[in-house]
Amino acid sequence: MELVNKGLYLPLMEEFYTIQGEGYHKGTAAYFIRVGGCDVGCHWCDVKESWNAATHPPTDIHTIVENAVSHSDTIVITGGEPLMWDMAPLTQALKANDLKTHIETSGAYTLTGVWDWICLSPKKNKLPFGAIYERAHELKVIVYNKHDLIFAEEQAALVHDGCILYLQPEWSVRDKVTPMIVDYVMQHPKWKVSLQTHKYLNIP
């Protein structure tokens, strides 16, 4: 457990090569590393099996990097909530192999690691804090109902001017909320629409 706490081993849920389906880099080939462990507790989460870190084997980060190197130069660290763990050792090892490091995070834990791209996807029940608002490259707010648009504006007020703003329909209610998001973005064009295109393409 000490090696996990130091970020030298991580509870690896899965790793796979696919196309990034969301946000700014959608359409880009990327190698995804899904780290187990999350206590944010989104009721609509589509990877709830990631929540319990104990069910995912602690894996040497050098093994993870070896697997990543053979697939893509763009690496996306996701979860779960990857910032529950120290991301510095993994990202340093990835950067040593000239790989681009991307993270998808709720920002609910201290930002660690060396990142080329930070996707901040805040959640109401465990808010982001600290420097991540100043560091995020994109803000992606999941929209489940109209109240999430108010939350989105509250979060947008906290990021820096260069941060790209996305509203993304929650998949299970996409038919209901997508027209609402489209109307909102047309009225507030600082926002962009993000879709889970990988689900439409039926890929991981």
CA–centroid distance for 48 within its chain = 15
Domain span at residue 93? 2-200
Q: pLDDT tens digits for 144-154?
A: 999 999 999 99
Q: pLDDT tens digits for 72-101?
A: 999 999 999 999 999 999 999 999 999 999
Instruction: Count how many domains the chain has.
Output: 1
Entry pTM: 0.96
| CATH assignment of the domain containing 31 | 3.20.20.70
Buried b (16+ CB within 10 A) or exposed e, 156-167: bebbeeebbbbb
**Nearest-angstrom CA–CA distance, 42 and 113:** 24
Q: pLDDT tens digits for 101-155?
A: 999 999 999 999 999 999 999 999 999 998 999 999 999 999 999 999 999 999 9
Q: HEC states along 93-128?
A: HHHHCCCEEEEEECCCCCCCCCCCEEEECCECCECC
What confidence score (pLDDT) does residue 44 get?
84
Q: pLDDT tens digits for 6-34?
A: 899 999 999 999 999 999 999 999 999 99
